[in-house]
Amino acid sequence: MGPVAQILIVDDDPAQRMLLHTFLKRRGYLVETASGPPEAMHILEGKTFDLIITDLMMPYVDGITFVEQLRADPRYKSVPIILVTAYATDEIVDKGMRKGVSLTLTKPVDLDKLQALVGFATH
């Protein structure tokens, strides 16, 4: 078995953060969380991650703008990013993909689908 994937979850909703964190940690992943893009960028200064899961609708900086910021950093040019949103319209999904989103997951999060996407993204 290879090294354990490190995942960063970025979501302003504490309940959603805890749900994703607990679910993924119980499956053996190393998981850190941030309450929004500013905190995430601070965490990312000193660490690298194998996968980033971010919410779309957050105060100050939305998920797609955050993805643009990540993709501008050479360290995160090719790291898979899953966008989680309750507003998964074709427009949002298309815009996200153009800006660098790897996969999109709709809310409420289907944990089986989350597990499949995380497995796909980290292998």
Kindly tell me the burial class for residue 45, based on how many C-beta atoms sit within 10 Å of its own C-beta (0-12, 13-18, 19 or more): exposed
- The 3-state DSSP class for residue 84 equals strand
Q: What is the pLDDT of residues 60-79, one digit of tens each?
A: 889 999 999 999 999 999 99
Q: What is the pLDDT of residues 2-24, one digit of tens each?
A: 578 999 999 999 999 999 999 99
CA angle 33–75–24, rounded 5-degree value: 30
Q: Is-above-0.85 flag for pTM?
A: yes
Q: What is the mean pLDDT of the chain?
A: 92
Contact 13, 56 (CB under 8 A): no
CATH homologous superfamily of 6-121 equals Response regulator (3.40.50.2300)
Mean pLDDT confidence for 81-93 = 89
